[in-house]
Amino acid sequence: MEGGFSVPPGLRVTAETNKPGGREIPPGWTKNPTAWPKRIGLAAVAFVGLLVAGYLTLYQIHVFSTVWDPFFPKGSPIVTHLTDPFPDAAMGVLAYGTEIVLSFIGGRSRWRTMPWTVLAFGLVIFSGAGISMILMIVQPLVAGAWCTLCLASALISLTLCGWGADEPLAALQHLKRVRQQGGSVWQALLGREYTQALSGAPRKEGV
Amino acid sequence: MGSRILSTVLTFGARSVGVVFGAWLMMAPKIIGYADKPAGFVDHLTGPVLLVVSFLSLWPALRILRWLEIPLAAWIFITPFFLEYAVGDNTLPEILHICMSLVLVGTAFVGGKTRESFGGGWLPILPFLKREAKEEL
């Protein structure tokens, strides 16, 4: 017997789950984690991060001779030159750019129709949060200084992680449902096997 | 309506306490003057971890992270007993550590409820990942 106690709501399989053009809200959820308004909001926050990281990169490659810092004017040059000659802020540009691109890939139900994009997005935002934490530790311990824009970039990364974390959660729950139905997780990851596996119908071979 | 506002205020208040304490631990070694001691090194590590955990638990999908505030609080509580925080006769950092840890344990239990639901959350996913790993081996 599949009781509500033993099987969490998000992992229950129902006939209406994950048909093409079917429900947008994952089972057991109150709203769609991959709805457009939220993804546009995440992309907007990532764009602010891109501007901050872009500015720091331009300073690191000597396009600007000084770096703006209202709180730690002496600290920012020390922190930003820690990895000379490598402009580490460029990694931030890459991460924020990837987040923006991934925010616009897939439809409203991409947590089930294109889980790979959602998991890739999750990987980037969780990595960003981890790296932000490391940067917050490194600034006083290694550089012995603080950098306002670096801290702002860390705050933006943490905001993206907190706000966007429900997307990969919905995709992981979806993959677990596919597996429980005997479907291929790899096929589901590419969005190829959600129909049969989750509607309760027999699974086609070689989909 | 009133209870909803109160619940939101409590939740954000409780999580913000961890964020503020984390930020304080990041800055305290330089402000108070124990940055060169092992205690300063430890606080420079503990502060960002606490700040990140508390900040991320502001969002309902990651609210579960607030429970990590309890082991962090335990760590903040015990550190003054084996590390030297006092600067001269100033024992304020030690007293602050003990007070912060007690408040953190309390706030970890506040504001856990969310109006949103997430299909069982993160925990049911973990056994799935473990099973996959075993089959890969």
Give me the interface pTM, i.e. the ipTM. Answer: 0.86
Mean pLDDT by 10 residues, chain B (137 residues): 80 92 93 89 95 95 93 95 82 90 93 80 72 42
Q: What are phi and psi of A29, to 5 degrees?
A: -105, 160
Taking only the tens place, the pLDDT of each residue in A95-123 is 999 999 999 998 888 998 899 999 999 99
Q: What is the pLDDT of residue A4?
A: 40
Q: pTM, whole model, 2 decimals?
A: 0.85
Nearest Cα residue in chain B from A130: B52
For residue A155, what pLDDT band results from cuts at 50, 70 and 90?
very high
Q: What is the pLDDT of residue A123?
A: 97
Q: What are phi and psi of A72, to 5 degrees?
A: -125, 65
Cβ neighbours of residue B10 closer than 8 Å, sequence gap 6 or more:
B110, B111
A79 in B contact zone (CB under 8 Å): no
Q: Which among B114, B116, B118, B117 is positioned nearest to B11, based on CA atoms?
A: B114
Q: Which residues of A, range 139-178, sit inside 8 Å of B by Cβ?
A: 140-141, 158, 161-163, 165-166, 169-170, 172-173, 175-176
